[in-house]
Amino acid sequence: MTSPRKYRQKKITMDDLSITGKRVLVRVDFSVPLDEEGHVREFTRIKTAMPTIHNILDYDGAAVLMSHFGRPDGKRVKKYSLKPVADELQRLLGKKVKFAPDCIGSKIEEMTRALKAGEVLLLENVRFHPGEYIDDPQFAAELARMGDVFVNDAFGAAHRKQASIHAITQYFPGCAAAGRLMMRELRVLGRTLNNAQRPFIGVVGGAKILDKIETIRRLLPRVDKMLIGGGMAYTFIKAIGGNIGSSLFEKDKLHFAEKILKGPHADKIVLPIDSIVAMDLEYGSERKTFPSGDIPDDWRGLDLGRESRALYVKEIKSATTVFWNGPMGYFEREPFASGTRVVARALIDLTSNGGTAVVGGGDTMAALYKFNMTGPMTHMSTGGGSLLEFIDGKPLPGVRALSDSVEVE
């Protein structure tokens, strides 16, 4: 088995900062999904920033929060305004959250300097400025004027070399620190992915292999088994000659699936035995169960079948550590949610018995919130690309740029 690569960095944390009476400029990751009416519909990234915000307020600091939101490509785009996030943050905090119409400029700086101890201000989307994307030191310098000390709590964006994450730290010598969420992500993921208690099982799902290629490639050498579900499973089944009917598969990724299934870790791969299938996604449509490699034409695999669910639960029960990224089926529709739900329940049971269950990925967390099954998990990571970089043992630019002090593994 390939030994995992590790990196160690000595970085200061919030505990090393003097916060009282200071404007604490915090890089958070508030790029959350909105519903059709423009309201926040999934709150994980806001909630996970709460420990850092509360820490600042408890020590009589003022919290100045900045974040990206969506992909406005350096232009002011109304639908990517953080104003709805400010409203939701205010509800969750139970106190007034002020909102700045921009993230730089003399008027915005005046707003930050007028803040009193215990107050919170959210700046407008940093990606409304092209300087953010190119790690522009001049733009970073303007952002830096909004705080006296800097805290990076945006693990989900820590793999990006952008101004509000990377270049900004040079303007806070000795006082650019990791926030509470950042430290928890680094410590928990370090223990789980680099020093996992075995047996260590990976569970990977989702609609497309394209979205999970790097997860599979980087995680497979580290796990003892990998359970594959969701729409992506059918590309693997097709690659071994199975009949998948009209199930989703990626023709241009068949070579990747074939390579994995013929590679040195092929014996670790576990594919669904049977599938719940339907001709369409309409409510009330007829559902049947077929072997996953023998699905009739016009029928589409949409969830794990009964035998597959039993097998996956058995494998998870045998594990000490499980890392899960991606749902097992089309969980958004209740008739096809059982596979994802039983995996979630198996992970809850694992943690209840002293095991470790780490969950990553937006769709996975959305499923857990839908099922109201979030609390018992050991850790729910906010990382996407940063999580993949961490799995590969690569230093994250947003972490590397922080001030040196405490060892992080």
The answer to whether 208 is a known catalytic residue is yes
Distance between CA atoms of 226 and 205, rounded to whole angstroms? 10
CB 373 within 8 A of CB 324: no
Q: Sign (positive/negative) of CA torsion 161, 78, 96, 114?
A: positive
The answer to whether 98 is a known catalytic residue is no
Catalytic residue among 22, 23, 45, 225: 45
> What contacts 136, CB < 8 A, 6 or more positions away?
130, 163, 167
First to last CA, the chain: 21
Catalytic residue among 74, 105, 190, 362: 362
CB 330 within 8 A of CB 364: no
Distance between CA atoms of 306 and 328, rounded to whole angstroms? 13
Computed over its alpha carbons, how large is the radius of gyration of the chain?
Answer: 23
Could you tell me which of 90, 108, 86 has the C-alpha nearest to residue 32? 86
The two three-digit tokens of residue 377, written as one number:
């998990």
For residue 120, give the 3-state DSSP assignment.
strand
Distance between CA atoms of 174 and 159, rounded to whole angstroms? 21
Q: What share of the chain is helix, strand, coil (3-state, %, to 5)?
A: 40, 20, 45
Strand partners, 23: 62
- The helix (H) or strand (E) run that includes residue 338 is helix 338-352
Catalytic residue among 98, 145, 208, 345: 208
Distance between CA atoms of 201 and 230, rounded to whole angstroms? 17
Catalytic residue among 70, 105, 190, 385: 385
- The catalytic residues are 45, 208, 362, 385
